[in-house]
Amino acid sequence: MDGPLAGQVGIVTGGGKGLGRAFALDLAAAGATVVVNNRNRQVDADGRGPADHVVDEIRAAGGTAVAEHSDVADADAAQAIFDAALGVAGHVDFLVANAAVSNPAMFHKSTPEAFDTVTRINISGSAHLTMLCSAHMRAQSAGRIVLIASTAGLYGEPTASAYTASKGALIALGRAIAVEGQARNVLTNVVLPYATTQMTDTGMHAQYRDIMTPEAVAPVVTALVDPASTLNGQVIVSAAGAIRVASTVEFGAVPLPAGHVSPEQLGALIARSREAEPREFPEALSAFLDLAGEITRDRTVPA
């Protein structure tokens, strides 16, 4: 199939339903060969799972796709998924790490086992495959990675502590590997979607349900994996055919008084810090150097 991604081979994890399905269909429509990964938790009478049905849709539309059924939580899944993609044409050009679960619970009512189940899928499941793809892409001096996170990872979400922690970790991971990959033309971005899916259906506000489609987010992902894209390290919120950029910022440095600091004093200092213009930084060292420079500007610092 012709399109801007013709000749490109890539992976979509969790590609059998919801957002992953929409990503896979849009990528294939743009000409890519898509390895659609989804575990076979539910199968039809013929033993075929969600990934198989998405592949059928892609092929019916004239595209090319391969189904892959590993559970990203398994220790050997990353290698199996990567090998399936590499076997298509000997190269892997993009990865959309989308597979995730939520498993809502109040933090104090959760268990270590339940918490670890979520983080094993959402963090390790994405990170292990991203690691393999990143090494391969660096060797070929080209590649595009999109991590699918959530605004829960920016702001927190009550009753979803494990999900929140995992998605926050993906945002930080994406920013780190974006810096690492820039010089090798391996670019990484993070997308934070709002969409009505099986995971979000019960919590989606009724008045927004119909416009918050997975299909409205998919073009953003397709644009980010395009080899012509130079975007890197972006955190993009996307919903209902629109985007807005998110960022982590720091405000002004305010000196602490000598000795004991009361809660009231600390509150006043926080308010003063927020009066300064917010600042963005590409990575942690830049933030440290900026802070160190600000707090020592009027001090004599030993050489």
Contact 148, 191 (CB under 8 A): yes
The answer to whether the Cα torsion of 243, 248, 252, 257 is positive or negative is positive
State yes or no: pLDDT of 129 exceeds 70: yes
Contact 180, 131 (CB under 8 A): no
Tell me, what's the pLDDT at 199? 60
**Which positions ≥6 away from 284 have C-beta within 8 Å?**
none
The ranges assigned to domains in the chain are 9-246, 249-295
Of 217, 216, 23, 246, nearest to 151 by C-alpha is: 246
**Which positions ≥6 away from 275 have C-beta within 8 Å?**
251, 252
State yes or no: pLDDT of 202 exceeds 80: no
Rounded CA gap, 100 and 17, in Å? 11
For the chain, counts of helices (H) and of strands (E): 10, 10
pLDDT tens figures, 98-122: 999 998 999 999 999 999 999 999 9
Tell me, what's the pLDDT at 200? 56
Rounded CA gap, 4 and 103, in Å? 37
Contact 164, 118 (CB under 8 A): no
Rounded CA gap, 71 and 229, in Å? 30
pLDDT tens figures, 275-289: 999 999 999 999 999
Rounded CA gap, 278 and 164, in Å? 24
Rounded CA gap, 167 and 11, in Å? 20
pLDDT band per the 50, 70, 90 thresholds, residue 198: low
Q: What is the residue-averaged pLDDT of the chain? A: 93
pLDDT tens figures, 208-255: 767 789 999 999 999 999 999 999 999 999 999 999 999 999 999 999
Q: 95: which strand partners?
A: 11, 145
Domain made up of 9-246: CATH architecture: 3-Layer(aba) Sandwich (3.40)
State the amino acid at position 39 in one-letter form. Answer: R
State mean pLDDT over 11-30: 97
Please pick, among 155, 163, 194, 208, the residue that the annotation labels catalytic: 163
Residue 208 falls in the annotated catalytic set? no
Tell me, what's the pLDDT at 298? 63
State mean pLDDT over 111-135: 97
Rounded CA gap, 257 and 231, in Å? 43
**Which positions ≥6 away from 85 have C-beta within 8 Å?**
9, 10, 11, 35, 66, 68, 92
Query: What is the percent of the chain with per-residue pLDDT over 90, rounded to a whole number?
Result: 86
Plot region of 286 (φ>0 → left; ψ -120 to 50 → alpha; else → beta): alpha
